[in-house]
Amino acid sequence: MKKYSCILLIFIALVLLACDNASTGDFKSETKYQPFIEIDGSSSIFPIAQEISNIYSQLHPEVKISLSLSGTSNGFMKLCQGRLDINNASREIKPEESATCASNGVELLALKIGYDAIVIAVHASNYWCASLTTEQLKKIWTKPVNGIERLWSDIDPSWPKAKIKYYSPGKLSGTQDVFLNTVFGENHNFAQEGETSEDHNDVVSGVSRDSMAIGYFAMPFLHSNTPVCTSGGHR
């Protein structure tokens, strides 16, 4: 198996945001007698949230916990509408999201639980992409103005004349926000699109089965059969 090394490219804060909604109380309740905690948000934090939920359930079996992973942005939307107790977020809350929470009377408590990293990954058979500069990364993910699909050889003439296949978290993902803002800055309207999913496992699976693939996902989802392209670090 091809050996690989990993550079932590983009460090992102993992945050649990809980709401205190005066209209619903501390917990939602499915019945009069059973406390209910509803959690949603980032798939990056899902493994941690799952472990915490299991431990909490053992200590408090009377409390029912619902845990989903629909993406950071979707979690913030639900949280600010008072439909969620905890949002697992892989980015900071945006000003407009905070304003929505305030207008709905939802008070927030942010708990930073750790730092993650974004991995740039290629297929195991990829022999040419041992490393990437930030400029190459930007060129790879910039959509050609003429609409022609980008080839690996467009990045480096010595690389294969084959179409690059893209896999990434979806638009509701905080990971996508952090990646695009780091590579392009705030204006990333011309960023390349490919196959997306709010579940990072789907991104890993796509890269693993497509020999011309490149993708990015959160560090916890790195598998041993998915070599990575290393690049300069960003904090």
Q: Residues 78-118: pLDDT tens digits?
A: 999 999 999 998 888 989 999 999 999 998 888 888 888 88
CB 97 within 8 A of CB 80: yes
DSSP state of 221: G
- d(CA 132, CA 160) in angstroms, rounded, equals 15
Would you say residue 232 has pLDDT above 60? no
The torsion angle over the Cα atoms of residues 100, 104, 106 and 111, rounded to 10 degrees, is -10
Show Cβ contacts of residue 56 under 8 Å, excluding neighbours closer than 6 positions: 63, 65
Lowest mean pLDDT among 63-67, 83-87, 129-133: 129-133
Of the candidates 56, 106, 112, 109, the residue with the CA atom closest to the CA atom of residue 81: 106
Residue 197 has pLDDT above 60, yes or no: yes
Confidence of residue 134 (pLDDT cuts 50, 70, 90): confident
- The pTM for the full model equals 0.72
Which residue did the predictor score with more confidence, 146 or 141?
141
Q: How confident is the model at residue 33 (pLDDT cuts 50, 70, 90)?
A: low
Q: Is the pLDDT of residue 29 over 50?
A: no
**Per-residue pLDDT, 225:** 58
- Domains of the chain with CATH codes: 13-116 (3.40.190.10), 117-221 (3.40.190.10)
CA distance 178 to 75: 16
Residue 193 or 67, more confident: 67
What's the confidence (pLDDT) of residue 9?
36
